[in-house]
């Protein structure tokens, strides 16, 4: 599971990109070797956001933010300049491509 999360973060942190459904499926399968039976789930998650925008940032009521296609949350998975000290950064990665 952690490998898939790292792939999703890499896609999320890519330079600004708005995907089409089939294009995202192709990138997941052919560039990041995501198993075909998992691709439908990840495309569905991205589709739920409606924008397929890798650079979308949404602020939550608790002060955390979610980033990109798969809503990678800075409360758990990545770090940005606004992180509360109690937030985790489990993947030890920046949330923004600007800080990579």
Residue partners of 87: CB distance under 8 A and separation at least 6? 64, 74, 75, 76, 79
DSSP 9-45: HHHHTSSS-B--HHHHHHIIIIIT---HHHHHHHHHH
Entry pTM: 0.61
- Which pLDDT value is given to residue 100? 27
What is the predicted pLDDT for the residue at 38? 92
pLDDT at 22: 93
- Are 79 and 89 in contact, with CB atoms under 8 Å apart? yes
CATH number for the segment(s) 2-99: 1.10.530.10
Under the banding of pLDDT at 50, 70 and 90, the label for residue 30 is: very high
- In terms of pLDDT, which residue wins out, 91 or 36? 36
Q: Cα separations (Å) of 74 from 28, 29, 90? A: 22, 26, 9
């Amino acid at each position: 599971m952690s490998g898939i999360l790292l792939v999703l973060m890499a896609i999320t942190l890519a330079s600004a990109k708005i995907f089409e459904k089939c294009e995202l499926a192709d990138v997941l399968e052919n560039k990041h070797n995501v198993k075909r039976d998992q691709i439908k789930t990840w495309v569905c998650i991205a589709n739920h956001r409606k924008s397929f925008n890798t650079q979308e940032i949404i602020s939550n009521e608790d002060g955390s933010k979610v980033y990109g296609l798969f809503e990678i949350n800075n409360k758990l998975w990545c770090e940005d300049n606004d992180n509360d000290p109690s937030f985790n950064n489990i993947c030890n990665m920046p949330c923004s491509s600007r800080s990579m």
